[in-house]
Amino acid sequence: MVHYSELGFVNTKDMFKKAFEGGYAVPAYNFNNMEQLQAIITACVNTQSPVILQVSKGARNYANQTLLRWMGQGAVEFAKELAASKNLKEIPICLHLDHGDSFELCKSCIDFGFSSVMIDGSHLPYEENVAITKQVVDYAHKYDVSVEGELGVLAGIEEDVSSDRHIYTNPDDVEDFVKKTGVDSLAIAIGTSHGAYKFKVEKGKEPPPLRFDILEEIEKRIPGFPIVLHGASSVLKEYVDMINAYGGKLEDAIGVSEDQLRKAAKSAVCKINIDTDGRLVMTAKIREFFAKNPSEFDPRKYLGPARDELIKMYERKNKEVLGSAFEV
């Protein structure tokens, strides 16, 4: 067992308190490889933003959970070095399990130094969701690890669970769920969804707005409680167009407007999850590079520009969308 505090991570308690009071959301960016991690840390140090590093099931399958945790630990040291070199303050970093699907997995992450875990029982019957979430909370809180639960189902793919329609969070359930489970934050479904194809919209029409009415009702039921939005990529058009211009085929990819996310970040939404936008940026820049430099084969040559563009994108998200940037 290693406690996260020995590795330099923090839990989400203080992060969410400040985010709630300050009217912003903490970015939760997924990482699977070194370049993504370098970009997230660099952007968050440069903008002086707190950050939640997310490890998903897909990431664990791809890169190995042990390696990812050590990379997270390395990221803490990298962030300190970077901040010192720029005369900036150190930033709080949380290492979070994204979409944990069992008690055993959450326990293994807690025992291995994660400072926050999500137990996603959203696809289970209500009482089973309560039971598994409470089991994780009881264990996690012994070590001061934060726990995120979820109520409601996002359309699209939620790990192994796929749903073709949103099941919005029922405001009538939230107070009972929070009370019975003891969770530290709650992911809700108000119209966001995972991936690059979030909405089916006729050409020229706008996707449906997020259900701010449900969010407001939830805020009334659990005042001051930190809310989480998953599936919050905007599927940035600039990069979708670049991918398509350089041989890709992403038709009808569409995301959540950044204006709506900015509005959400000012409310009780304290954590906003973004993965797909990072994937699009990397793919766009790599496609562009190969189209313009067909004889290059050194991965540093194409991963480097992709990483630089990722830094720019994350910095802009922190400043203009999440409002989490505290530049000096």
With CB under 6 A as the contact rule, which of the stretches 14-22, 44-52, 231-239, 307-315 interacts with ligand 13P? 231-239
Establish if 211 lies at the interface with ligand G3H (CB under 6 A): no
Select from 182, 195, 209, 248 the one that contacts ligand 13P (CB under 6 A).
Answer: 195
* Number of CB atoms found within 10 A of residue 42's CB: 19
With CB under 6 A as the contact rule, which of the stretches 5-13, 57-65, 246-254, 313-321 interacts with ligand G3H? 57-65
Helices (H) then strands (E): counts for the chain: 13, 10
Q: At its nearest, how many Å lie between ligand 13P and the CB of residue 256?
A: 7
In terms of Cα–Cα distance, which of 73, 147, 76 is closest to 107?
A: 147
Is the distance from CB of 9 to CB of 34 less than 8 angstroms? Answer: no
Per-residue binder mask for ligand G3H (CB under 6 A), 181-200, x = binder: -------------x------
Q: At its nearest, how many Å lie between Zn ion and the CB of residue 6?
A: 28
- The Cα–Cα gap between 289 and 273 comes to 28
- The Cα–Cα gap between 253 and 236 comes to 9
Is the distance from CB of 35 to CB of 299 less than 8 angstroms? Answer: no
Q: b/e for 146-163, b at 16 or more Cβ within 10 A? A: bbbbbbbbbbbebeeeeb
Per-residue binder mask for ligand 13P (CB under 6 A), 74-103, x = binder: ------------------------xx----
Three-class SS of residue 163? strand
Is the distance from CB of 185 to CB of 16 less than 8 angstroms? Answer: yes
Q: Closest CB to ligand G3H among 100 and 323?
A: 100
Establish if 166 lies at the interface with Zn ion (CB under 5 A): no
- The Cα–Cα gap between 158 and 124 comes to 12
- 232 is in the binding site of which of ligand 13P, Zn ion, ligand G3H, none (Cβ under 5 to 8 A by kind)? ligand 13P
Please state the separation of Cα 254 from the chain's center in Å.
Answer: 18
Per-residue binder mask for ligand 13P (CB under 6 A), 152-191, x = binder: ----------------------------------------
- 58 is in the binding site of which of ligand 13P, Zn ion, ligand G3H, none (Cβ under 5 to 8 A by kind)? ligand G3H
Catalytic amino acids?
98
- 59 is in the binding site of which of ligand 13P, Zn ion, ligand G3H, none (Cβ under 5 to 8 A by kind)? ligand G3H
Backbone angles phi, psi at 168, to 5 degrees: -60, 150
Q: Closest CB to Zn ion among 148 and 309?
A: 148
- The Cα–Cα gap between 233 and 167 comes to 19
Establish if 317 lies at the interface with Zn ion (CB under 5 A): no
Select from 198, 230, 271, 317 the one that contacts Zn ion (CB under 5 A).
Answer: 230
Q: At its nearest, how many Å lie between Zn ion and the CB of residue 171?
A: 21
Establish if 271 lies at the interface with Zn ion (CB under 5 A): no
Among positions 282-311, residues that touch ligand 13P (CB under 6 A) are none
In terms of Cα–Cα distance, which of 47, 19, 92, 29 is closest to 267?
A: 19
In terms of Cα–Cα distance, which of 164, 159, 149, 13 is closest to 92?
A: 13
Establish if 58 lies at the interface with ligand G3H (CB under 6 A): yes
Establish if 232 lies at the interface with ligand G3H (CB under 6 A): no
In terms of Cα–Cα distance, which of 327, 226, 243 is closest to 277?
A: 243
The alpha helices in the chain, defined as continuous H runs, are: 4-7, 13-22, 34-47, 57-63, 65-85, 103-111, 126-140, 171-181, 212-221, 237-245, 258-265, 276-292, 299-316
Establish if 232 lies at the interface with ligand 13P (CB under 6 A): yes
Q: Closest CB to ligand G3H among 57 and 123?
A: 57
Q: Which residues bind ligand G3H (CB under 6 A)?
A: 30, 56-59, 98-99, 194, 275
